[in-house]
Amino acid sequence: MTSAHERPVRVGVFGLLGSGNLGNDGSLEAVLGYLRADHPDAVVDALCGGPEAVTARFGIPATRLHWYRGEYRTASRVGSIASKGLGKFVDIFRTAAWVRRHDVVIVPGMGVLEATLPLRPWGFPYSLFLLCASGRLMRTRVALVSVGAAEIRNRPTRALVRWSGRLAAYRSYRDAQSRDAMRAMGVDTARDEVYPDLAFALPTPQASAPAGSPGPVCVGVMDFHGGNDDRARADEIYRRYLDGTIRFVRTLVEEGRPVRLLTGDECDASVVTAILDAVDSPLVTAAEPASLADLMKEMAAADTVVAVRYHNLICALKTGTPVLALCYAAKSDALMARMGLGTYCHPAREVDADRLLEQFRALEKRSAELRQTLTERNLAAARQLEDQFRSLTTAVFPATHHTHARRESP
């Protein structure tokens, strides 16, 4: 406990949290679990994309990330363009004022240093740069914890990401490729460590035996149009991904397999609708997950999972359910290799339904063996994240809180 003469440490969490992305919110949940266990007296609040949702779900005060409420809408009229520009200026002072109130600011996981999905430099990369620059100016330690990174070609985005990394007081990555990418973009990563994604620290629901034979298949979908470098062929990529997924689901249904469609972000609902319209069968149903815990419950009851979104893959892996990954970025390939399923990857940009079915059947034949492998890899990931949280405490928290965390640990 904090003694009478000690001020509680003030911790801020930052990111596109509460905005409908289940993976981002799962990373926040993992960090809040760490803070409540190791720093129970810490005063925590958030600067985030969806403050109302964060407060409602996690019970912490939250402030809107952007002054301009239309930040995520495309600005086409003169008035909206001017307002968005003014917002970027106002956010300099809003961000600095928020950072100044804290001893530590944590950016919990997420792909904050990558552009594997469409991204404009003056969107989140600019916000992250303001955070890290404010931290350096205000002497508040900013920690990028188990974050994802990828080498970026767009020069303004690359510069903002590089300087964000350089200005942070602490950096760790969710895979070695992320650390390599930051090094390639000019950040000294000699002291940076690699740990599993923060979602591996979340509780795992009890696996339940699938009812009936053959058992259900969970298919995680995504409103996928490629990344920053694919804008010219975004519609083609989406159509090929959707058509391949529909063919895959239709074949499973023809074989009598129940299929459960899962999302990872609010924007994925349109893909679910398209599949349900194309495959008219009672064997195809859709879940409405509100958290990674909901996703894991669905996947724990499945024979097999096929998924695109990174955190959908993690949920399947955590439950020990064999998963086939539709990979849209190197992070997915790295995750699958780390968990012993590197053979079962398929390119999301070039979905071939026949090849996908072939890989799916090969995966199911090795189901029992792969479940045992996942049990062992999950135990290792949990131990590594315990090391991560100890490292984070030592690196960025005031010395008195190191003592409390050690004293109160079992």
Per-residue pLDDT at 115: 78
pTM of the model: 0.88
Per-residue pLDDT at 407: 37
Per-residue pLDDT at 1: 46
Contacting residues for 90 by C-beta, under 8 A, at least 6 apart: 67, 68
Looking at residue 376, its amino acid is E
Contact by Cβ (8 Å): 226, 233: yes
Q: Is the confidence at residue 232, as pLDDT, over 70?
A: yes
Contact by Cβ (8 Å): 126, 33: no
DSSP per-residue letters across 47-68? EES-HHHHHHHH---EEES-SS
pLDDT tier, 63 (very low <50, low <70, confident <90, very high otherwise): very high
Q: In this predicted model, what pLDDT tens digit does every residue of 252-273 receive, in sequence order? A: 999 999 999 999 999 999 999 9
Of 17-31, 193-207, 234-248, 258-272, which range is least confident?
Answer: 193-207
Task: For each of the domains in the chain, give its residue range(s) and CATH number, in order of start.
Answer: 10-194 (3.40.50.2000), 217-375 (3.40.50.2000)
Q: Is the confidence at residue 405, as pLDDT, over 70?
A: no
Contact by Cβ (8 Å): 160, 187: no
Structure tokens at 400: 């008195």
The residue among 406, 404, 392, 394 whose CA lies nearest residue 6 is 404
Q: In this predicted model, what pLDDT tens digit does every residue of 51-62 receive, in sequence order? A: 999 999 999 999
Q: For the residues 22-46, what does the mean pLDDT come to?
A: 96
Average pLDDT, the chain: 91
Q: For the residues 284-313, what does the mean pLDDT come to?
A: 95
Residue 92's CB is within 10 A of a number of other CB atoms, namely: 14
Give dist(CA 205, CA 216) in Å, integer. 17
Q: For the residues 358-365, what does the mean pLDDT come to?
A: 97
CA 381 vs CA 236, 294, 335, 384: distances in Å: 37, 21, 11, 5
Phi and psi dihedrals of 335, rounded to 5?
A: -60, -45
Q: Is the confidence at residue 408, as pLDDT, over 60?
A: no
Q: For the residues 278-285, what does the mean pLDDT come to?
A: 96
Per-residue pLDDT at 401: 59
Contact by Cβ (8 Å): 181, 151: yes
